[in-house]
Amino acid sequence: MLNRLRRLKSAAPWRRARAAQREARARQTQVDELLQLARLSFVRLQLAWDTADLHALGELATRQLLDELRDQLAQRGPGPNHTEVLQLQARLLSLDDLHEAMLASVEFTGLIREHQAHEAAPFRELWMLANVKAAGPGWKLARVQSLS
């Protein structure tokens, strides 16, 4: 009996280690999925901005940010816009559970061309994505800050 207890006791750290590894892999998968969604949202937002598609912008952004984007589109005027995303990297800086919402801070870097006649330029932006629990599942862009 004593030997069996010793074996069980010595196996417990291994079980905990395996469980921790499974949990870490699951967290990394969630981070990878969030970053993939963020990159897709970045490209979709650029297209919606270029075409002044308020409906598409509304699907991607919170109501408050959509109001700001609407004002910026009015200042930009009705002329066509062209944005070409040549390189895009995303890095999760933080993921916070605020009870009523999950907030993710994602840093984007890469190369972008905003006018066909211009050279591509490096950029760096911070995006705050919100997943408001009461609104149902789904991440929306809440804030954008240029870091370059």
Q: pLDDT, tens digit, for every residue of 112-134?
A: 998 888 899 999 999 999 998 87
Distances (CA, A) of 50 to 22, 63, 109, 115, 136: 42, 19, 19, 11, 28
The CATH number given to 2-146 is 3.10.450.240
Which of 4 and 126 is assigned the larger pLDDT?
A: 126
Token pair for residue 102? Answer: 């999950």
C-alpha–C-alpha distance, residues 68 and 37, integer Å: 22
pLDDT surpassing 80 at residue 135: no
Output Rg (C-alpha) for the chain, integer angstroms.
22
Which of 26 and 58 is assigned the larger pLDDT?
A: 58
Q: pLDDT digits over 27-71, tens only?
A: 778 899 999 999 999 999 999 999 999 999 999 999 999 999 999
As a whole number, the mean pLDDT across the chain is 88
pLDDT surpassing 70 at residue 137: yes
Please name which of 64, 131, 66 lies closest in space to residue 56, comparing C-alpha atoms.
66
- pTM, entire model: 0.81
Residue 106: count of CB within 10 angstroms of its CB: 24
